[in-house]
Amino acid sequence: MTAHPAAARTPQQDRSRATRQRLLAAAVDCLAEVGWNGATVSVVAERAGVSRGAAQHHFPTREDLFTAAVEHVTAERLAAVRAHADELPAAGPDRTVAVVDMIVRLYTGPLFRAALHLWVAAATDEPLRARIVALEGRVGREAHRAAVEFLDADESRPGVRETVQATLDMARGLGLADLLSDDSARRSGVIRQWAGLLEGTLRPVRP
């Protein structure tokens, strides 16, 4: 009997999907380690264990590859955070500290380094800049939604939306401070202090 065409295509589709996943992960790692100038399509393909032709089949241009990689890995990180949201403490100061710490961890490590290299390259590369501005808009909106959700923040209250956004901006700044040296000791104190200020905005004590 002849196999059904859809069933026959499944292994090939699985291999194609696996190749794409390897390329995306390798692109972020390479970008974080060697920067925009060093992270060529050939370097990424070699690290992913595929041919350059296979890489270009999935991602015709270098810009396609790296913007897709950062967006994909960011989405994976946010999904992982959401998956553990039920482990957070109940609403209150402890939860706020935990959420701020969680947000800061999104902006440290290889993914942030990779994104930073893209931002720097985009500053002088107009076609890439258009892509990164759009990407950052999508990522920023999703990160803000996640922060509001985890903090149980009521953005109809004066100052709450701005303070939640300031939390994301602060986390990005802490990520920058951690690039050249281990900033974890100072960072933990900043997180606790900021969480206290944030909690006061989210749930002010009534006189």
DSSP for 97-132?
A: HHHHHHHHHHTSSHHHHHHHHHHHHHTS-HHHHHHH
Place of tokens 């959700």: 149
pLDDT at 184: 83
**pLDDT (0 to 100) of residue 188:** 92
Question: What's residue 178's pLDDT?
Answer: 86
Note the residue count of the chain. 207
pLDDT of residue 207: 61
Q: Are 23 and 32 a contacting pair, CB within 8 Å?
A: no
Q: How far apart are the C-alpha atoms of 52 and 44, rounded to whole Å?
A: 9
Distance CA(97)–CA(89), nearest Å, equals 10
Provide the pLDDT for residue 82.
Answer: 85
Tally: H helices and E strands in the chain:
9, 0
Q: How far apart are CA 28 and CA 148, in angstroms?
A: 27
Which residue reads 């076609």 in tokens? 127
Give pLDDT, residue 1: 45
3-state secondary structure of 5: helix
Query: Which residues lie below 8 Å from residue 165, measured CB to CB, with a gap of 6+?
Result: 144
Per the listing, tokens 């270009």 go with 56
Q: Which amino acid is at 21?
A: Q
What is the mean pLDDT of each successive set of 10 residues along the chain, which is 207 residues long? 52 86 95 94 96 94 93 89 86 94 89 91 91 91 93 94 96 89 87 96 81
User: Among 110, 90, 140, which Cα is nearest to 35's?
Assistant: 110
Task: Please tell me the distance from the alpha carbon of residue 103 to that of residue 82, in angstroms, as a whole number.
Answer: 12
